[in-house]
Amino acid sequence: MSRAGSAEERAALLGLAIPDYADPPYGGRYGNIDAFHHSGRLVFLSGFTPEDRAGTILHPGRLGADVTLDQGREAARAAAVNALGGIRLALGSLDRVTSVVRALCFVVCTPDFEEVHRVASGATDLLGEVFGPRAGRGGRAAVGVMQLARRNCFELWLTVEADTEPAPDQRHGEKDGAQPRHSHS
């Protein structure tokens, strides 16, 4: 693939501060889960939230009460940037993504908040900017929920397709034979 117009190049041009989940290792706050799982060419990422590596949450609370629509979209975008870090952890490069398959977006909101799809667009619009109009557009569900861990207002579960299948020892994030367990941030 040509570097001109690559996903890595577009992410750099957008000025995205994509976290490195290899150093320190992804995990700690949310329990015993993997950051990702490969099945053939599909990569299933764990949920990513709008919090930084130190655990500072962007716009905690509930849409329709504590968090505005614009803040929710910003939080969704931040979660997508974090998911890009998960993709790099799983694949080594954003350029290995051939397609966004599915984005499952959880939006913490009041029962009468009906704009969950507009919040979710903060995440999926960013994926389109990074991966392009074809590879960056997949299926999506935006679901309003009552609560997420640590008062996060948004969580993104992402599935992407890679250009090749991983080696058998790299299906769960193992590097150099180690088997670290991974979780959020």
Measured from the Cβ of residue 154, the count of other Cβ atoms closer than 10 Å reads 36
CA atoms of 84 and 115, how far apart (whole Å): 24
Q: What do you get for the CA distance between the two ends of the chain, in Å?
A: 30
Q: What is the pLDDT of residues 79-117, one digit of tens each?
A: 999 999 999 999 999 999 999 999 999 999 999 999 999
DSSP state of 172: S
For residue 95, what is the enclosing H or E element?
none
Q: How confident is the model at residue 1 (pLDDT cuts 50, 70, 90)?
A: very low
Share of the chain above pLDDT 90, in %: 77
Instruction: Give the pLDDT score at 175.
Output: 39
Q: Could you tell me how many residues make up the chain?
A: 185
Instruction: Give the pLDDT score at 171.
Output: 77
CA atoms of 113 and 62, how far apart (whole Å): 10
